[in-house]
Amino acid sequence: MQQLPTRWEERERLRNKGQFWTPDWVAHAMVSYVATDTELVFDPATGGGAFFEALLSLGIPDIQFFGTDIDDEVLKDSIYSHPIARVEKRDFILDPPAGKFPSIVANPPYIRHHRLSPQMKARAKHLTDEAIGVPLDGRAGLHVYFLVQALSLLEVNGKLAFIMPADTCEGHFAKTLWDWIFSNYKVRCAITFDEKATPFPGVDTNAIVFLIENSLPAENLLWVKVLESSNDLSAFITSGFQEVGTSLEVHARSLQEAKVTGLSRRPNVNKPPKYRLGDFASVMRGIATGANEFFLMNSEQVAQSGIPDYNFKRVVGRTRDVSEDELTSNHIEELDLKQRPTYLLSLDGSPVELHPNVTAYLAEGEAMGLPQRALIQQRNPWYKMEQRKSPPILFTYLGRRNSRFIKNSAAILPLTGFLCVYPHLEDEDYIHRLWGALNHPDTIAHLASVGKSYGSGAIKVEPSKLKSLPIPDHVVNGFDLEPQQTQSCL
């Protein structure tokens, strides 16, 4: 198994090239799917040759392997001197090989959109526009373009096996991507992994394997959860999806349901929920300061700055600063005693004369180049802070067990590590009951259906998605809640 470097620089180098190797038990299973009834297996991101090695272990006569990669070093590996292998240095997005392939297998480089060069982004946009016919949201990473390119290069009746991060099913681009795949290809099987069986231990990403054919879409597909790493997965695939070992959980699911729920999530056999969080509250993200080191202070720093108190608002910045389900004024004072910054310099930008100490402090910020920073640049004047009413409930995500709703009894303002939840009624009793309903384990269990999942079990939820969090009927009734009309957040 690949040993991941502990040093940050080395890990960054791996991240820039997307070099995380597939473990042999997964590579073997994926190759078993694509290597039947074919003379050639193509891996567009062949790296250290995990799939080639798996192919050799299958011992199929008269089969050839073709691999490409951008990294000279990996292509020099002695494994590729084998007579059935041919490898080329080639960028699969900028310079794909000509022609189509009967079998494609890959663990594409998982490189997020903000690390892609402008040239790569332009090429990727062209490629997805051509293949899908409608633009794909620009937040897709390189692995998504690999999938689109590979599907476009798959021969009719050809087979493809890709191992991808779960964001392939959960990102902003996911609906467009999967509408296209589901209407043009046959998705045979999606394989997910329990935390105990993760193919990439130590990487904060959930992996998912897609087995897809270039043939007419079918009404159903198989969805697998691997509970332990074992040979059961290979046996399941080589037996034509018949042999289900004890380490696998297998579900047949309809394409219709899979489309709505998303393939990274378990099949949803429940009726659509009657109530969602948005029926009871509105959601907004916390304040983004653009420069925490400048706008945030502790009481000692406030005193030293000589800036009058009325220019500050009390805030909570880090999610790990809140370990309880309720945030009280005592808690905030304790944080200050630990010298955590809880004072936000919150100037609203109105044309009043600023206190001389504020003016002097802002001059320091200008000397630091803050007005040129990406987020701050959009503000006028540059030091104008985002304004929020203090939210009665905060939402935070730390890990699956800790994703929770916090009662904001300190009337504090949260920064971006939190979401602000504004109940539609300001009545204290209503807020208290809603808080109870949101923290009910049956409500928390639904977070996975609206959030993005990470390898550590953490779930991240966008404000617009948190609004659609289902609250089960029995929880709504148990807390005696009634849906209400929206109120403004500010």
Which one of the spans 15-23, 192-200, 250-258, 436-444 is the region binding ligand SAM (CB under 6 A)?
A: 15-23
Q: Does 403 bind ligand SAM (CB under 6 A)?
A: no
Binding characters for ligand SAM, 289-308, by CB under 6 A (x = yes)? --------------------
In the complex, least distance from residue 163 CB atom to ligand SAM, rounded to whole angstroms: 7
Which one of the spans 12-20, 174-182, 309-317, 350-358 is the region binding ligand SAM (CB under 6 A)?
A: 12-20
308 burial level (CB within 10 Å; 0-12, 13-18, 19+): exposed
Count helices and strands in the chain by DSSP H and E runs? 20, 20
Task: Report the residue closest to ligand SAM, judged by CB.
Answer: 47
Report whether the peptide linkage leading into residue 381 is cis, meaning its omega lies within 30 degrees of zero: yes
Radius of gyration of the chain (CA): 26
Q: Does 17 bind ligand SAM (CB under 6 A)?
A: yes
Q: Does 19 bind ligand SAM (CB under 6 A)?
A: yes
91 or 442: CB nearest ligand SAM? 91
Binding characters for ligand SAM, 80-119, by CB under 6 A (x = yes)? -----------xxx-------------x-x----------
Q: Does 50 bind ligand SAM (CB under 6 A)?
A: yes
Sequence-ordered list of residues with C-beta below 8 angstroms from that of 345, at least 6 positions apart, any chain: 294, 295, 296, 297, 307, 311, 312, 358, 361, 383, 385
CA distance 356 to 39: 78
47 or 391: CB nearest ligand SAM? 47
Q: Does 394 bind ligand SAM (CB under 6 A)?
A: no
Q: Which of 32, 46, 192, 198 binds ligand SAM (CB under 6 A)?
A: 46
Which one of the spans 40-48, 228-236, 406-414, 468-476 is the region binding ligand SAM (CB under 6 A)?
A: 40-48
Q: Pick from 281, 279, 286: which is nearest to 389 by CA?
A: 286
Q: Does 47 bind ligand SAM (CB under 6 A)?
A: yes
Residue 363 main-chain phi, psi, to 5 deg: -65, -35
Q: How far is CA 135 from CA 86, 121, 214, 300, 360, in A?
A: 35, 12, 22, 51, 48
In the complex, least distance from residue 71 CB atom to ligand SAM, rounded to whole angstroms: 4
Residue 447 CA, distance from chain mean position? 14
In the complex, least distance from residue 150 CB atom to ligand SAM, rounded to whole angstroms: 11
Q: Does 71 bind ligand SAM (CB under 6 A)?
A: yes
In the complex, least distance from residue 470 CB atom to ligand SAM, rounded to whole angstroms: 35
Q: Does 74 bind ligand SAM (CB under 6 A)?
A: yes
Q: Each residue of 431-453: b (16+ CB within 10 Å) or e?
A: bebbbbbbbbeebbebbbbbbbb
3-state secondary structure of 102: strand
Q: Does 153 bind ligand SAM (CB under 6 A)?
A: no
Which one of the spans 39-47, 176-184, 209-217, 334-342 is the region binding ligand SAM (CB under 6 A)?
A: 39-47
Contact 176, 137 (CB under 8 A): yes
User: Dihedral (C-alpha) 172, 174, 175, 176: value to the nearest 10 degrees?
Assistant: 100
Q: Which of 28, 33, 43, 302 binds ligand SAM (CB under 6 A)?
A: 43
3-state secondary structure of 285: strand
Which chain residues interact with ligand SAM by CB under 6 A?
A: 17-22, 43-48, 50-51, 68-71, 74, 91-93, 107, 109
